Amino acid sequence: QKHLLGIEPLHPDEITALLDVADRYVDLSRQPNKHSDALKGLTQINMFFENSTRTQSSFELAGKRLGADVMNMAMQASSIKKGETLIDTALTLNAMHPDLLVVRHPHSGAVDLLAQKVNCAVLNAGDGRHEHPTQALLDALTIRRAKGRLHRLNIAICGDIAHSRVARSNLMLLGKMENRVRLVGPPTLVPQQFREFGCEIYDDMAEGLKDVDVVMMLRLQKERMDGGFIPSEREYFYRYGLDADKLAHAKPDAIVMHPGPMNRGVEIDGTIADDINRSVIQEQVEMGVAVRMAAMDLLARNLRTDREANKGVMV
């Protein structure tokens, strides 16, 4: 692949290969010396048009651990604020010869559009409700390490599916790897068209969590509910927030996941989130750095191969 724009175009073998590389970067990241030269001499620019804690910091750390020159664009202070278009900003940065461009944007499809205009590798760090591929890959690595496999698992994705790029990317990835995925949440937040991904839909947590291996909770994404129905947080927690009673319906060794940022007492009880016997939320953060190292390493290898093949060719 030239870019990482989504899970949709990836073959299961490519997913497995990326996770294998990421496993090695988990080991490296646990060493006193965490550095490699995989991206030495390359320039990585991070452009985040939406807020981020985990994704932006882990992409920055990943690039630095691999020896890249990393620049974080301060989008609030950029010329976008003066009316410059996304494409003009991208072309301006492209003229500075970056090798890797990491982009988060509030509009679905914006990152794909940008990738068509630049001649470097583009990584989607989340675009609107569309995709968040590195989140799904880090979730996959977390599951594979916790469960010892990434196939034939029963996985429940719970909460605000309608507004979630995390849910879409996970649905595609987990489906490609032959898992059974259930969506659980209020009908207003779990559109029936998601059945096209081959999943079952439940509006009752007890039924939806019955005997699952993995419980993946999602945040209510109020910032995307423009004018639509917003449930009361108290009622939402009562019916759909993960607490010990609801989790008791899952398998006794089921793991609990959350991509963050997490709203304690809304979609998840704080004691469940902090229960080190069930929750793998901190492991997800650790896997995030390793998966982003792997994704950039593999894209950089392809970039170097392409450039070598095109040496001396006028384009």
Q: Kindly list the residues in this chain that would bind ligand CP in the complex (CB under 6 A).
A: 52-55, 126, 135, 259-261
Report the amino acid identity of residue 14.
E
Question: What tokens appear for 268 in the block?
Answer: 């998840």
Decide whether 38 or 291 has the Cβ nearer to ligand CP.
291
Q: Is 135 annotated as a binding residue?
A: yes
Contacts 24+ apart (CB under 8 A), 274-278: 278/247, 278/254
Min dist CB 91 to ligand CP, Å, is 26
Min dist CB 282 to ligand CP, Å, is 13
Min dist CB 207 to ligand CP, Å, is 27
Do the Cβ atoms of 73 and 47 come closer than 8 Å?
yes
Decide whether 175 or 260 has the Cβ nearer to ligand CP.
260
Tally the residues of the chain. 315
Question: What tokens appear for 161 in the block?
Answer: 């599916």
Q: Is 191 annotated as a binding residue?
A: no
Q: Is 83 annotated as a binding residue?
A: no
Question: What tokens appear for 67 in the block?
Answer: 């020896």
Nearest-CB residue for ligand CP: 55
DSSP string, 31-42: SSS----TTTT-
Decide whether 218 or 300 has the Cβ nearer to ligand CP.
218
Q: Is 65 annotated as a binding residue?
A: no
Decide whether 36 or 52 has the Cβ nearer to ligand CP.
52
Decide whether 189 or 216 has the Cβ nearer to ligand CP.
216
Min dist CB 159 to ligand CP, Å, is 13
Min dist CB 203 to ligand CP, Å, is 25
Report the amino acid identity of residue 116.
Q
Q: Is 241 annotated as a binding residue?
A: no
Q: Is 165 annotated as a binding residue?
A: yes
Comparing CA positions, the residue from 202, 216, 204, 115 lying closest to residue 173 is: 216
Min dist CB 183 to ligand CP, Å, is 18
Decide whether 1 or 221 has the Cβ nearer to ligand CP.
221
Q: Is 54 annotated as a binding residue?
A: yes
Q: Residues within the annotated binding site for L-aspartate?
A: 82, 165, 219
Which residues define the annotated binding site for carbamoyl phosphate?
Answer: 54-55, 104, 132, 135, 260-261
